[in-house]
Chains A and B, each alone.
Chain A
Amino acid sequence: MYLKTTRRLMAAALAGAMALQSGAAFAQEKTLKVLLFGMPSTIGLQALAGDFEKETGIKADIEIIGQDVFENRITLSFAGRTGDIDVVHTPAIQVQRWVEAGWINPITDQVDALEDKDDFLKGPLEAYAVEGDTYALPFFAEVGLLAYRKDILEAKGQQPPKTWDEMLSVAAAINTPETAAIALRAAPGQGFNMFVFPALMWAYGGKFFADYPSDLTPAINSPENLKALQVYIELLTKYGPQGVGRFNFPEIVAAVQGGQVAMTVDGTSITSQLVDKEKSPVADNIELALPPSGPAGRFPPIAVHGLAVPSDAKDPEASFKFIQWATSKETMAKIALNQAYPDFTRASVASIPEVVEKYSGIQPNFLDLRVEALNEARGDYRPLISTWPEIGAALGENINGALNGLVTPEAALEKADQEVSDIIDSQ
């Protein structure tokens, strides 16, 4: 009995030692650790990792984690200087903060040396310029569009709303107990309600700061922003589904797909799920259009994501090779064909016949709409400053509080103004 146990233990120890050894051998090969967060395009990229190894002989270990935990994971890695990441998913709204902290390295020279640099869409590429240096290459540029149920609008004799004011009257006309007129992101967060709310803010002539970027005195507490907030609240409380005050994008997708909501304004990664015939029972009745405008113009929500090289990456050149491959025309085209990925960042991909064919299947003018909205979108839709994550959180929480009736819109904006001022002052 005793002998048997000892033998088993020894066998286990041996197996463990072997596992360790093979682990060591594995690490000796060139392996890049790539950390991304989950979206159709990154999942598509992960599936192509083998191609990268075939082309370059470098193995890419692509790890995909949830967007909600991504920032904490990154912060711990970077602040702890663990050096365990070679290529990092970099949302444009984080780049200023990460550069200030010294977490990512410039790749200006390599990017300038790219023969096809001009193929990158200008806005998304410029989102990664900080004080004359380039810090990432964009692989994803998502822009907000209006998605609406054309059957419902037609039945009520309504045209798709061109402005937020029209949105109010259309919503009033089509709202029923079975199908609420509209849902917008409401959950507090710089990437949640603060992805959509600035579209109203800008449209009504509001802004974040007195004179961004030279004068960062908060201008949150303005009549224009108040008007925007009032419209946002009226839309959702009067014509939104029950419980919309806690809605984030998953709830919106489910509600539109389930026929409980008729209209939304959201990014292409969300609206493309609504028109996806395999997943969405209402896909045939969904039509996409440019997002509503306001007295000051149209300001489609925009989110840009890129790939950057952490400053403690072991082999920065290999890291850039990966980024170059991942953002190449060929790779983007493959992902565009395999996944719901109309958010590519190279102009040339939009003229590949297979890609055009696939996305015109959604709606004949889908890719054109996207380009038009991207051209109208402003790069500083959400301010490109290092304190934005904190400011966005403060704004998002106050706006959500007002939406749910915890405070008046006036009080919410006043408090938000004060909090933004405190954040800027503590710099």
Chain B
Amino acid sequence: MASASASAQLERAYKRMLIPTFLAVGIFAIVPLVGMIGLSFTDYHLIRGFRGEVGFQNFVRLWTDGRFMESIYVMCALSFIGVAVQIVMGTLVAVGLEKIVPRWRLARGFFVIPFAVPAIVTALVWLSLFTPTLSPINAFFAIFGIQIPAILTTQTGAIAAIVIADTWTTYPFVMLLILAALQGISTDLDEAAAMDGATRIRAFFYITLPLLVPALTMVALFRFIETLKHFPLIFVLTNGGPGRSTQATNYYAYVQTFQSSNVGYGSAIAMFLFFFAGVISLYIAKRNARLADA
């Protein structure tokens, strides 16, 4: 009896622990989300208000809007290239740190520093590094008569610039998760492989890497969804330019909502983004569950 009531008490305590988060998510995520869904079926304009119901018109318009299509291309370029670069870099640093850990424990702290820098600050620092007249990099190479090309004035360059700045600030996230996963892999496997005469590189590719796949998938998913939400880096680094060639979908939703006052259409773009991210999350989560079962 006593233990039963104790466990009921414990359960109540656990439930209470969920209340603040439940309220926070409810108020700050669900309510705006429902509002956004509602608005996406209207023509609400910041200045002119509502003029009538539009039903699915906003969503039909998406597929005929060249700027929206271009924005998806930019978003995908930023996400796929960004995630790939971040995974490779984060994993490299994690493996390096794991192998030299006992002696260099403090080094981890060093590698995590960029993760603590706010996005706007990161963007401002990289903006000056990418501005030829301000950049110490350009000044350094100029000594040897080498001119570094301006990166922010071409589409490819501007996308690369966003990826570089994003990677600089987020590879520690990848690194930390991979590091945790590496520590879960028994060193016996490495030792056995070494006894069987496998080189370290072969051991990494045939033993460590396959065991890291679930962790890598998880990290890639997190990063992918984060990169879909690119905003501060675009806002500060490229201003959506050159032209409008780095207006990724999230940025385009902002342009429509705030610059053009088309809240209804902007909400429809945001809805698309929400479901896009949702579908990808579900797909990868399921795939991940299969991998974990296998």
| Chain A residues proximal to chain B, CB less than 8 Å | 68, 71-72, 75, 79, 97, 100-101, 187-189, 192, 241-248, 251, 254-255, 258, 260-261, 386, 389-390, 393, 397-398, 400-404, 406-407, 423
Contact = CB atoms under 8 A, between A and B. Distances in A.
A398 B259 contact: no
Contact of B46 (A101, A187, A397): A101
A406 B245 contact: yes
A404 B258 contact: no
A390 B77 CA distance: 27
Interface residues of B, number: 30
Contact of A406 (B155, B238, B239): B155
B261 A390 contact: yes
A243 B46 contact: no
A389 B238 CA distance: 19
Contacts of A188: 239-241, 243-244
A58 B260 CA distance: 37
Given A251-B134, A386-B47, A400-B241, A243 B153 contact: yes
15 contacts: A79-B46, A189-B239, A245-B242, A246-B239, A246-B242, A255-B133, A255-B134, A260-B133, A390-B260, A393-B255, A397-B243, A400-B241, A400-B242, A406-B243, A423-B260
Contact of A251 (B46, B131, B245): B131
Interface in B234-278: 235, 238-245, 255, 258-261
B239 A242 contact: no
B46 A75 contact: yes
B147 interface: yes
Nearest to A407: B243
- In order of increasing CB-CB distance, the 8 nearest A-B pairs are A401-B243, A243-B150, A245-B153, A404-B242, A242-B132, A243-B132, A246-B152, A101-B47
A397 B255 CA distance: 12
A278 B131 CA distance: 24
Nearest to B242: A404
B187 interface: no
Contacts of B241: 187-188, 245-246, 397, 400-401, 404
B154 to A, nearest CB: 7
B243 A97 contact: no
Contacts of A245: 150, 152-153, 241-242
Nearest to B158: A246
Contacts of B138: 242
* Residue from A72, A261, A407 with most neighbouring chain B CB atoms (10 Å): A72
Given A101-B46, A390-B260, A404-B154, A398 B255 contact: no
Q: Which of A247, A254, A386, A404 has the most CB of B within 10 A?
A: A404
Given A242-B150, A390-B261, A404-B153, A254 B134 contact: yes
Nearest to A192: B239
A40 to B, nearest CB: 21
B47 A401 contact: no
Contacts of B154: 404
A401 B152 contact: no
Contacts of B242: 245-246, 400-401, 403-404, 406
B245 to A, nearest CB: 6
Contacts of A261: 133
Contacts of B244: 188, 397, 401
Looking at A100, A188, A241, A402, the one whose CB has the most chain B CB atoms below 10 A away is A188
B164 to A, nearest CB: 15
B243 A75 contact: no
A31 to B, nearest CB: 28
B270 to A, nearest CB: 15
Interface string B125-151: 000001111100010000000010110
B64 to A, nearest CB: 13
A101 B47 CA distance: 4
Nearest to A180: B133
Contacts of A400: 241-243
A407 B70 CA distance: 15
A261 to B, nearest CB: 8
B134 A404 contact: no
Contact of B258 (A71, A242, A248): A71
Nearest to A397: B244
A115 B118 CA distance: 51
Contacts of A402: 243
Nearest to B149: A242
B46 A393 contact: no
Contact of B245 (A68, A187, A393, A401): A401
B133 A241 contact: yes
A68 B240 CA distance: 14
Interface string B149-184: 110111100000000000000000000000000000
A100 B47 contact: yes
Nearest to B147: A242
Contacts of B153: 243-246, 404
B239 A243 contact: no
Contacts of B255: 393
Given A243-B153, A245-B241, A401-B245, 12 more contacts: A79-B46, A100-B48, A187-B241, A188-B243, A241-B132, A241-B133, A246-B152, A261-B133, A397-B240, A400-B242, A401-B244, A404-B242
A248 to B, nearest CB: 8
A68 B234 CA distance: 13
Contacts of B259: 389-390, 393
Contacts of A407: 243
Contacts of B258: 71-72, 75
Contacts of A71: 258
A386 B245 CA distance: 26
A254 B131 CA distance: 11
Given A187-B241, A389-B259, A393-B255, A254 B46 contact: no
Interface string B39-59: 000000011100000000000
